[in-house]
Amino acid sequence: MAAMFSLILVLITLGSGLVWLLDHFYLAPKRQEKLAFASQQTSGDLPEEAQEKLVQEPWLVETSKSIFPVIAFVLILRSFLWEPFQIPSGSMMPTLLVGDFILVNKHEYGLRDPVFRYKFWDNNEPQRGDIVVFKYPKDPRIDYIKRVIGLPGDKVVYRNKQLFVQQKCEAGVSPCPELTAINSAKVNSGEFSQNGTPLLRLKEDLMGITHDTLINPRRSEPLRYYYQQQGRRTGEWVVPEGHYFVMGDNRDNSTDGRFWGFVPEENLVGQATGIWISFEFDRDSSSILPGWVPTGVRFNRIGGLQ
């Protein structure tokens, strides 16, 4: 859907821009020539109403000149600077909630054309702990949002709801980094729940990046569904070059890299940097309002992300 919208936006921008150029360099001069010829024929006594009719812009030209600056601005803003996204699920709770509208920095990881996604300008690379929006590897038509856990060359292990990361061993560096347990401390429980089960909220220290996660203490790990990397044990992955390993902060309610593998660099859309508005949709069964109508605004959630 996002890709189709980008294509439509590009086509409208190109179409209206071409009509504007055609009018500027060809049609408008032709209209002026007709006006000059008509004025000569009437010895300069051509009525003002007739003059206006001769130079009047066609509807298509007038509309194109009106919308082109606006559409071009939106295209540049959305494709190369910032794009708004809505959080549709709870996979990134408690960091992001359903109803949060976030801003995604489209130039942080380089610039791509909005249709074919060809990268024409390099910038920074994702860092461990970044919240990224990307094209779902199994269906690039869908945008996903998760947190970067493993960088290219890293080893990631997730067993018994404990995360381990071994950073890439750089050439010429000795000794190589060891497999490190990612520490987490209990914050509280009961603030969030899943199917009636209170979730445990933890503060995780991802090698210097602190953020909160949720786990369901009663839910066992679905090991049989984990992505099985060739030559590796279940729940253990080594990130290939040019790829990233991502997970949701809501660890027991997130379809992430544990289940489908790695995010190719070319699938990255941008870095989520802040919440610009947050709506709540809480309503009881007696409400007659459609489910998509907000019931309130969570002003306290507006701001940057961790």
Q: Is 91 an annotated catalytic residue?
A: yes
Give the amino acid at 5.
F
Sheet holding 180-181, edge to edge: 180-181, 162-166, 155-159, 236-238
Rg (alpha carbons) of the chain, rounded to whole number: 27
SS3 20: helix
- CA-nearest of 257, 4, 305 to 137 is 257
The alpha carbon dihedral of 8, 14, 17, 18 has a sign of negative
Q: Is 89 an annotated catalytic residue?
A: no
Structure tokens at 246: 């991502």
Distance of CA 90 to the CA centre of its chain: 16
Residue 304: Cβ-neighbour burial (10 angstroms; 0-12, 13-18, 19+) = exposed
Catalytic residue chosen out of the listed positions 6, 91, 184, 254: 91
Helix axes 28-41 and 48-55, enclosed angle (nearest 10): 150
Distance of CA 265 to the CA centre of its chain: 14
Catalytic residue chosen out of the listed positions 6, 146, 155, 278: 146
- CA-nearest of 254, 298, 239, 267 to 93 is 254
- Catalytic positions, please? 91, 146
